[in-house]
Chain A
């Protein structure tokens, strides 16, 4: 186990709305609601060093460390969360929770509906990014954190960040939306819909009531994921990653088998996804993203963020991201500037498309680390000074430092 990992972690669960149901934006309600979450690092005495990281479409609460001590299950943002990393768990209390509607332990369509004793399926109410965030607010209340140091996340995680800033600005000091948009575009809705249609078209889907069937709508879900993967890459990254290389064969077979590496990659990832994700959750979470539009109700983004004047923003986009193109972030930055909000913005040069937010580790570490350092200084947050690399030389040193922290 690497010494710069958050180590062995466990997923925890918080259940609320057991008596009074949780009201949703749609007018429907849900209850009880369970949130799966993980935490890394230690909350300081005035509870001011909390960082909430928000996951993307298919993510989970498992953002860092090894689940059950299994090194095959690193967190989805392992590169940026851990001792000495951008989100330094020696200094900050990092928190990640699975969104409602998903399938990694939080209440979603695969959960048991208490009214019927069977999985919700399509009886699960449609949720929004706003609902996901209001559920996270309940978790923060439960953990006794009045105000976070920052909320950070990419893609759909970035939408949650913007939702926090726009509608719960008193609960955080800073916001880090990455490779995202304040306003889900028609192109994004189109890709969502094609993915959903792939699932609807699978005869094993059974209008969402497939949980007691032996065959699941895996073909539809895999196809939806393959489409998704294309949108996460870029033309350039596909050239770099696959080119026109063939997979396991010397020359064309002139047949409809998997021949090109890129085909094999998509097929493999589509199949892999069916082993970990629920098709109905894919429908619900993509729908939540489609409804996301912070320009409403006034039509002005600047008006939406009027209450966030005390927040500091770090907005990051990537030059080759065509799913969430840089101009979406630039529009956000313009609106924040017009509202007199402190915003730092960089369009990072990268070939990796939308995936860049997880791959450009060096630049991200620099940006996130420096921005957090500034927050610690300007917001006067009591955290331990960063440990130098030399102090982190061996696991023994680290262990004893940790022990000392625990004793103190």
Chain B
């Protein structure tokens, strides 16, 4: 800054702002290359892979030209792309630093010129380039005439602008959320949403292969081609078919959507930059609502058992790490048997997978407490206390898992169409659940490790060995502990005593209870003896 200001307070004019923001974005991109070795390599690799993938998609879409389903695919690709742009800022709020408009709040900027500048900056980057490849490919796949080419010239930039504006609008509207504790909680859960979403996509693709082709997608395509920005690609297709009225309507629809988005964005930008930070405002007294009603928790037993169960269940709901683990287990435990059954290679015995996944929640119980475990340490004086503590945690898991196991078994049996095997499958599941609770309790007492709270990692650095030892060892032991039940089932089958197979259900339930009891009994004195050591192990990170 020079001290001799020639003009009084310079108000930046719109034309100078846009190149400034574009240069800012370019600097941010370039700075990605200035990181340390490993991160630089990761940065370059991901950029190259993204572009390679985009190029392949472009080629694929071009190859589709002339295919009967080209329009459906092109429209759906654009739709999925727009969806990705909409959710990206929610899951990766730190992905684009220019998304957080509150960083600019101290600068004298007019909303309108700011929006133009930010929109221009958004068009710079790997994401927009990736989008350009796909949208261009989609347009080329459906453009068959001069008229449709002319529509495409409008449609492609319009689509990209809608995508970018969508991301900006969503990010601006949610800035307060994303920079708050709730937003950080959401970010922890995001990996999970992607993982489960991937399972569904995987399943969908397989299903598509089974049902003999892309025609299955046509109904979806017929709807999506009217939703902006995919409507723009729909317009190109309509122009190819000579339906110029439809083309104009679809193009108009996309343009209207762009204007609406820009308007909404501007409104939330103004609100964001002129209103005080939400963290300094006390929310209106929401306390009254939930005051002093026991609710369902009143049904839990008094004393340590009910108290610990309630805390465990509350954490499964409120703590993002614990919640992510629970939801993953619940989802995978159902998806695996169901998908296998739908693909025709499933058996009802896969139902025990649900019990297995949820039983695994018993592992590293104290690590899930983080260093707050000291509060538990202060109240455990005897092996009896430790037993009650572990048993209550096992109860909380069983409270969810037992009905869930029945559900998974019933669903799987109905899909496989083998109701006769339901009791055996249930018996085996309950036996396995008992074994998992038992080994989980013993592993919690002997192999505790920290779960870092502020990263996506689930094991603190340096404790990977003990964590895998606990999990792999525990699972093998659970398998061994379930062996008698499996042997019983096989023996009943082999010796042709099919009439007695229902016995596996009561035997499995009782066996599971006994094994779980024995495991808790074994783990309790170890826990009571090792309290300070466990606290040290779970207090890292």
State whether these chains interact: no
Residues on A facing B (Cβ under 8 Å): none
Residues of B near any A CB (own CB < 8 A):
none
